[in-house]
Structure 1
Amino acid sequence: MHDMYEHSTENIWSGEPNHALTIHAEHVTARTALDIGAGEGADADWLHTRGITVTAVEPSPTAAQRIRELNPDINVIEATFDKAPLTSYDLVIAFYTPLLADAATLTALINTVNPGGTLLVVHHTDISRMAEHHQRPIGDFLTPDKLKNLLPDDFHIDYFGEAKRTINGGQGAAHTHDLVIKAQRT
């Protein structure tokens, strides 16, 4: 897979935490968090500033280094989600992450959420660019609408819906609508 960060000397994202994170995780009680596909670390850093111990999973060596430079207190695992040695966490987030909609990925994702923990998954409503980048059909990805129908009975959906977003810079600025799912494990 092509590393979208490797030829960029500057950050490619805005450097701001995702709006859906600041809305849906603002009042979540968590001691530990997992950021799957952490990019350059803005979300992981935002969580860390709230006193949460954060593990960031990011396969790009360039992006992983940017996370380490942004906040050396974030535990960075330089791997894809399926290869990362993970435990379970109070809050698990995956923003615009190309997780596959298969049984192994779903099981691994569910196993990262502690009982009483929260899962927050966000994708742009149009994931065609991501599908093109990863050279896979759109239907291969675990999007919030698919996840809503696949979560086991021990998850309660707190929020599911479309959310508008405004970003002032970075490559994601053109995307103005996201699909969000927030679920709590009992």
Structure 2
Amino acid sequence: MARTDDCGAFWENRYRETERMWTGAPNELLVREISSVGPTTALDLGCGEGGDAVWLAARGWQVTAVDIAPTALERVRDAARATGVAERVTPMCRDLACGPPPGEFGLVVAMFLHSPVGMPRGEVLRAAAQRVAAGGTLLVVGHSGAPSWQPRTSPHTRLTTPDDVLAELGTTVRGWSVDLREMYEAPMSRPNGQVGFRVENALRLGRPV
């Protein structure tokens, strides 16, 4: 496996190469699953440019937004200021391979936390689950397939199912409720502008009180 410092360099270069990598909109599954949850504290793992973190903050959550790329976090700050929620978003540059930030959170989200280099995803998710407060929620969403117009995805990106993620979490989440376990097709734009899709997976767990 590549060193985790390679992971930081990879993602920082990716963000520097483009003015905007993501749309800035929150992930639809996050909106669907969390809109009805009362806001407390949230930990956003691999937050990217902050679409999810800003959406949560706008709904009253106090969000710690973690990413390994400083350029991405600058965009999080800009987005939070532009939306008027800067006081509710704390961007944090951190290599998750070294563990999540300390504390407990009512919500921990890992939205498409994949990396082609240097990230022990299973270890990261297990450590993150330990940060979920009693009565809190863990939401993990990831890729289960390549885009429909590609024959395969990167050989370094491990594709998962909800059962794979549950197995990775192992005894860390023993006794937790499984509130969502699904695979679904998400529409996405092809390079030529036509609409394709990608198979994704989602796992939502609740920690007992």
Into which bin does the TM-score normalised by the smaller protein fall?
Answer: 0.7 to 0.9
Distance 1:138 1:113 in 2: 25
Q: TM-score scaled by structure 2?
A: 0.74
Q: In the alignment, which residue of structure 1 is the partner of 2:4?
A: none
Q: Percent identity?
A: 29
Q: Deviations over 1:136-164 (max 9, x none)?
A: 4627xx76332223253231100100123
Q: In the alignment, which residue of structure 2 is the partner of 1:185?
A: 207
Q: In the alignment, which residue of structure 2 is the partner of 1:145?
A: 163
- Runs of 5+ in structure 1 lacking a partner? none
Does the Cα contact within 8 Å between 1:124 and 1:175 map onto a contact in 2? no
Distance 1:82 1:155 in 2: 24
1:137 to 1:35, Cα distance in 2 relative to 1, 3 A: closer
Does the Cα contact within 8 Å between 1:14 and 1:167 map onto a contact in 2? no
**Cα offset, 1:106, TM superposition:** 4.2
Write the mapping of 1:97-136 to structure 2, written as runs, cut at 5 A.
97-98=113-114, 100-102=120-122, 104-126=123-145, 129=153, 132=155, 136=156
Write the mapping of 1:155-170 to structure 2, written as runs, cut at 5 A.
155-167=176-188
Q: Deviations over 1:56-92 (max 9, x none)?
A: 0011111011001111331011112233433210011
Q: TM-score scaled by structure 1?
A: 0.82
Does the Cα contact within 8 Å between 1:64 and 1:76 map onto a contact in 2? yes
- Runs of 5+ in structure 2 lacking a partner? 1-6, 81-85, 147-151
Q: 4+ residue stretches of structure 1 with deviation over 6 A? A: none
1:176 to 179, 193, 198: 198
Q: Which residue identity does 1:184 align to in structure 2? A: G
Distance 1:18 1:119 in 2: 15
Does the Cα contact within 8 Å between 1:121 and 1:181 map onto a contact in 2? yes
Q: Give the count of matched residue pairs.
A: 176
Distance 2:182 2:207 in 1: 19
Greater relative contact order (CA < 8 Å, ≥ 6 in sequence): 1
Distance 1:101 1:58 in 2: 14
The answer as to 2:105 corresponding to 1:89 is: yes
1:59 to 1:7, Cα distance in 2 relative to 1, 3 A: same
Q: In the alignment, which residue of structure 1 is the partner of 2:93?
A: 78
1:101 to 1:144, Cα distance in 2 relative to 1, 3 A: farther
Q: In the alignment, which residue of structure 2 is the partner of 1:7?
A: 17
Greater C-alpha radius of gyration: 2
**Cα offset, 1:48, TM superposition:** 0.5
Distance 2:190 2:71 in 1: 20
Distance 1:82 1:126 in 2: 24
**Cα offset, 1:167, TM superposition:** 4.9
Q: RMSD over aligned Cα, in angstroms? A: 2.5
Q: Which residue identity does 2:158 align to in structure 1? A: I
Does the Cα contact within 8 Å between 1:92 and 1:113 map onto a contact in 2? yes
Q: Secondary structure at the match of 2:184?
A: strand
Distance 2:105 2:28 in 1: 21
